[in-house]
Amino acid sequence: MIAGLAKGLRVIEGFTADHPRQSISDVAEATGLDRATARRCLLTLAELGYAAHDGKYFTLTPRVLRLGTACLATLPLAQMVQPWLDQLSEELGESSSVSVLDEGEVVYVARAAQRKVMSIALMPGSRLPAYCTSMGRVLLAALPEDQARARLAAMALEARTPLTVTDPEALMARLSVVRAQGYEVIDQEVEMGLRSIAVPLLDAHGRTIAALNLGLPVRDTPLEEIPARYLPALERLQAELKRVLR
């Protein structure tokens, strides 16, 4: 047991959203350390760039994110995103999923279900066609245009509902829109009664490595209001995950 390391970690954990800016006395009170020990820990953190000091108050710097990022980057994608999915679904009251592209299908790697919105049970490992799903179109739009066209040409473009777009040129035009706007909304193309909105998940280099979506019952939100209502939360999570995905 390295007592100094333990005390330093206690000091870091003493900074919270409610108390982001603290004096030595504040930190000593929050951690139970004496003032001299709290002072040494804070000055050490400041010297190493993990804290900033204005002469009286200390704040943590973004450098502390490295401590968690290094660990998160070693986790499998599903394990990494699941806590965020759970939080997102709890916040919005809608089911959320993350998937990757496998040839002409999306493969679900993580899911947080709030209520059943499809007749089939979706879970990690489930597959759906890429051409008619919001996550699939986001992932296809991330490919170079010739590769996306080749993927569509290899798929059986079947009409799953009366609203399913199956024309290859119409789909390519839709992918251009998705590429430009950075998200996709699907209106009952997979199953009647189901809408969804998806965004790409980017790694730290800006490459699309997966897609994130929300499944929405038709009765809840008018189609034209879906982006305004749900996109901000999806984009916040997209930005958070970009810092840790490798």
pLDDT recorded at residue 126: 86
Number of structural domains, the chain? 2
Tell me: do 203 and 93 sit in the same domain. Answer: yes
pLDDT digits (tens, 9 = 90+) for 30-78: 999 999 999 999 999 999 999 999 999 999 987 887 776 565 556 688 8
Does residue 22 have a pLDDT over 60?
yes
Q: Which residue in 175, 191, 173, 195 sits closest to 183, CA to CA?
A: 175
Q: Which residue in 165, 168, 171, 172 sits closest to 188, CA to CA?
A: 165
Tell me: do 100 and 28 sit in the same domain. Answer: no
Tell me: do 18 and 85 sit in the same domain. Answer: no
CATH number where 59 lies:
1.10.10.10
Tell me: do 124 and 99 sit in the same domain. Answer: yes
Tell me: do 143 and 54 sit in the same domain. Answer: no
Q: Which residue in 84, 82, 100, 88 sits closest to 207, CA to CA?
A: 100
Which of 34, 69, 104 is the endpoint of a domain?
69
Tell me: do 50 and 105 sit in the same domain. Answer: no
SS3 of 65, please? Answer: helix
Tell me: do 60 and 84 sit in the same domain. Answer: no
Tell me: do 65 and 77 sit in the same domain. Answer: no
